[in-house]
Each structure stands twice: as structure tokens, then as C-alpha cells.
Amino acid sequence: MAKSHISPNRATDKTIRAIDRKREQERRRMFHHAKEHADVLAKKLVQRLIDRKIIEVTSVDNIRDSIEKQLRHLSSIDEFDFQMKIAPIRTLAQDPNMVSLYITQYVIEDLIDHPDMNDIFGEDLEIYRAVDSIMRVLRPQ
């Protein structure tokens, strides 16, 4: 029996779908781990941002609670809302950590309006690097 012809487009489509599935599974795992360890991650992140003099706050606990709430909310966020949130800084880093992008954009866009936030210093990339230094533990090796 002759082997059926495999078109290059079909093989390419199959490969692309496999890559997309793998990325989606990785993202779901990262969101799940972020939710499970939100308290520890939020505590470390706020401390890192303060140590690097990126944020200036009046109440560390309230800022930590706010970031923890965002980390817990990640697993239930709609795909469209997630993509809209990270759109302004999507090209900030090559092969970025999606959780780091989301939290970076949260710090830049939303946390600045928090009543206990005095000011945010630094460029977007500097903030991303500080956030990613904590959130990279979520990414599978």
C-alpha cells in the first residue's frame, strides 16, 4: 500500500498547533503555581522592588496584599483581558515570562494609583527585570 502524501502545509500546521498547545500548558501551569504560592511570591516581590528602589510605599502590607490578589486572580482571567493587559509591554523582552509581564504591567499601570503607593521609579525594562527575578521560579526549565 502506498504511503499518502504529506503536504508541507499540513505538517507545518501540525507543528504550530503542537507548539501552541505546549505554550498554553506552560502558561496554565505557571498561573496555577502563581496562585498556589501567591503569598510568598508577593512578599518577595514587594521586598525586591523596595530593595531596588523601584517603589516607594507607605504600607508594605497593603501593597503586598494587592499583588497577592493579582497573582491569585491570574488563573481565572480571560485570555482577551490578559492579552490586552500585557500588550503595551509585550516586546519588552525576548521570550518573556507571561506572569512577569502581567505583574510588571500591573505595577506600571494600576499599582501607581494605589493609595499606599508614593511613587514608582525606573524604566519598564528595569521593573520587568526586578519582577522576573522573583517570578522566574514559576517557569518550567
pLDDT digit string, tens, across residues 98-140: 999 999 999 999 999 999 999 999 999 999 999 999 999 988 7
Q: What is the mean pLDDT of residues 31-60?
A: 95
pLDDT-based confidence at 42, cuts 50/70/90?
very high
> Based on the number of CB atoms within 10 Å of its own CB, is 97 exposed (0-12), middle (13-18) or buried (19 or more)?
buried
Q: Tally the residues of the chain.
A: 141
pLDDT at 6: 55
d(CA 87, CA 81): 10
Task: Measure CA 52 to chain center.
Answer: 19
Write the single-letter amino acid at 98: M
DSSP classification of residue 114: S
| Global confidence as pTM | 0.85
CB neighbourhood size of 39 (10 A): 13
d(CA 75, CA 132): 18
Residue with cell 505595577: 107
pLDDT at 141: 72
Cα–Cα distances in angstroms (integers) from residue 2 to residues 5, 6, 7, 11, in the given order: 9, 12, 15, 19
